[in-house]
């Protein structure tokens, strides 16, 4: 029997991340070698021609799993029947724009996309927001998609988690595969808190990282939290292939389940866990079971961790208030 294709929508498909992402999804890197993929690409009208070029190249790969690929400039059509939606397209910050302008421009994108997902996507849709400011944008999508269960709209923190693992592995002189149980809490911004207090090496608890608080607080945390800016400074453009790899890792784990004994960093609407006010789009440690994230409970949060988490929460609250004032959420 031929399996039913999974319908995947990528927004901003003509951009840098979209270009790195679409081919890998079409190749089966996310949903596995048995699952056919139907791709929908959403772009703004002026970038549709570029998206057509991307689609031509994907076509030329002759991916066995790809059933069809369609390009839209209308969210209601692009999200029709979507089982997975990766919201990458966003308005970047341009010269003279402050954060409020950025929130306003992106609210104008993510509020209608949230409504379109609510009205046209499949009932089982899972939505990953990559476009920045990712947590605020995801909060706007969730507020405009009341029929989508709260935990099924995520903002991407996987890149921050991967950056943390890479830095920690280098410090401990082990492979990245040896490191587990890393959480990045809070906002996808420089207030994020990469938490190594519960990290393990080869499945064992370790104080290798937290016994050197000078390294941890003055090297590790700032390096991870400012990595996006460092890449922009070096490349003249924001991270793209690493962001696409992170989106793939997040979505694959969401659909296929977490590895036993490990967890992921996932920004989703808070249920009040760890003292995070209910309804804030905050990153938590979470495991995926049967296609849904469950927040890992019972971790001890020491005073140092609390201080960092609270600073990031203050920023999330501030951004939510700004978005509320602009009328994108109630």
Binding stretches for ligand LMR (CB under 6 A): 132, 159, 228, 231, 238-239
Phi-psi category of residue 262: left, alpha or beta, with phi > 0 → left and psi -120 to 50 → alpha: beta
Binding segment (CB under 6 A) for ligand NAD, from list 16-24, 168-176, 189-197, 300-308? 16-24
Q: Determine if 53 is a binding residue for ligand NAD (CB under 6 A).
A: no
Q: At its nearest, how many Å lie between ligand NAD and the CB of residue 145?
A: 16
Q: At its nearest, how many Å lie between ligand NAD and the CB of residue 220?
A: 18
Among 6, 8, 10, 17, binds ligand NAD (CB under 6 A): 17
Bridge partners (DSSP) of residue 195 are 183
Instruction: Draw the binding track, 94-123, toward ligand NAD (x: CB under 6 A; -: no contact).
Output: ---------------x--------------
Q: At its nearest, how many Å lie between ligand NAD and the CB of residue 123?
A: 23
Q: In angstroms, rounded to a whole number, what is the distance separating the alpha carbons of residues 79 and 319?
A: 27
CB count within 10 Å of CB 7 equals 22
Q: Determine if 134 is a binding residue for ligand NAD (CB under 6 A).
A: yes
Residue nearest to ligand NAD (CB): 15
Q: In angstroms, rounded to a whole number, what is the distance separating the alpha carbons of residues 249 and 158?
A: 7
Q: In angstroms, rounded to a whole number, what is the distance separating the alpha carbons of residues 316 and 305?
A: 17
Q: Considering CB distances under 5 to 8 angstroms, the limit depending on partner class, which of ligand LMR, ligand NAD, none binds residue 17? A: ligand NAD
- Identify the helix (H) or strand (E) that includes residue 134: helix 134-143
Q: Determine if 92 is a binding residue for ligand NAD (CB under 6 A).
A: yes
Round the CA-based radius of gyration of the chain to a whole number and report it.
19
Nearest CA to 11 out of 135, 141, 101 is that of: 141
DSSP 186: B
Cα distances (angstroms) measured from residue 89 to each of 15, 73, 199, 237, 329: 8, 12, 33, 15, 20
Q: At its nearest, how many Å lie between ligand LMR and the CB of residue 155?
A: 11
Q: Determine if 11 is a binding residue for ligand NAD (CB under 6 A).
A: yes
Site for ligand NAD in 236-275 (CB under 6 A): 238-240, 243
Of the pair 44, 299, the CB lying nearest ligand NAD is at 44
Q: Considering CB distances under 5 to 8 angstroms, the limit depending on partner class, which of ligand NAD, ligand LMR, none binds residue 182? A: none
Nearest CA to 309 out of 227, 211, 197 is that of: 197
Active centre residues (catalytic): 188
Q: In angstroms, rounded to a whole number, what is the distance separating the alpha carbons of residues 110 and 317?
A: 18
Structure tokens given for 283: 């990153």
Q: Which spans in 236-328 are helix H?
A: 241-256, 303-325
Instruction: Draw the binding track, 187-206, toward ligand NAD (x: CB under 6 A; -: no contact).
Output: -x------------------
Q: Considering CB distances under 5 to 8 angstroms, the limit depending on partner class, which of ligand NAD, ligand LMR, none binds residue 114? A: none
Phi-psi category of residue 177: left, alpha or beta, with phi > 0 → left and psi -120 to 50 → alpha: alpha
Binding segment (CB under 6 A) for ligand NAD, from list 126-134, 144-152, 263-271, 286-294? 126-134
Q: At its nearest, how many Å lie between ligand NAD and the CB of residue 48?
A: 9
Q: At its nearest, how many Å lie between ligand LMR and the CB of residue 190?
A: 9
Contact, 21 vs 30, CB < 8 A?
no
Residues near ligand NAD, by CB under 6 A: 11-12, 14-18, 42-44, 47, 88-92, 109, 130-132, 134, 156, 159, 188, 238-240, 243
């Amino acid at each position: 029997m031929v399996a039913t294709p999974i319908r995947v929508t990528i927004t901003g498909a003509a951009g840098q991340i979209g270009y790195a992402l679409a081919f890998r999804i079409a190749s089966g890197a996310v949903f596995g070698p048995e699952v056919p993929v139907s791709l929908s690409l959403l772009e703004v009208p002026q970038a549709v021609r570029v998206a057509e070029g991307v689609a031509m190249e994907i076509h030329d790969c002759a991916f066995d799993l790809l059933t069809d690929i369609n390009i839209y400039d209308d969210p209601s059509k692009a999200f029709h029947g979507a089982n997975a939606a990766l919201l990458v397209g966003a308005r970047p910050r341009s010269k003279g724009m402050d954060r409020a302008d950025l929130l306003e421009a992106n609210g104008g994108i993510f509020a209608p996309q949230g409504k379109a997902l609510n009205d046209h996507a499949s009932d089982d849709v899972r939505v990953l927001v990559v476009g920045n400011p990712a947590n605020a944008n995801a909060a706007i999508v969730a507020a405009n998609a009341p029929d989508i269960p709260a935990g099924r709209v995520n903002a991407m923190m996987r890149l921050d988690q991967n950056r943390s693992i890479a830095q920690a592995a280098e410090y401990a002189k082990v492979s990245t595969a040896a490191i587990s149980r890393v959480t990045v809490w809070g906002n996808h911004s420089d207030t994020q808190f990469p938490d190594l207090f519960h990290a393990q090496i080869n499945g064992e608890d370790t104080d290798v990282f937290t016994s050197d608080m000078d390294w941890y607080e003055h090297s590790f945390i700032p390096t991870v939290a400012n990595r996006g800016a460092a890449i922009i400074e070096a490349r003249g453009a924001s991270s793209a292939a690493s962001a696409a790899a992170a989106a793939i890792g997040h979505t694959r784990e969401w659909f296929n389940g977490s590895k036993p004994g490990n967890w992921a960093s996932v920004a989703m609407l808070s249920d009040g866990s760890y003292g995070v006010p209910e309804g804030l789009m905050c990153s938590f440690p979470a495991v995926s079971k049967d296609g849904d994230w469950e927040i890992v409970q019972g971790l001890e949060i020491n005073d140092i961790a609390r201080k960092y988490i609270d600073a990031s929460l203050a920023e999330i609250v501030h951004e939510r208030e700004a978005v509320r004032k602009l009328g994108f959420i109630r």
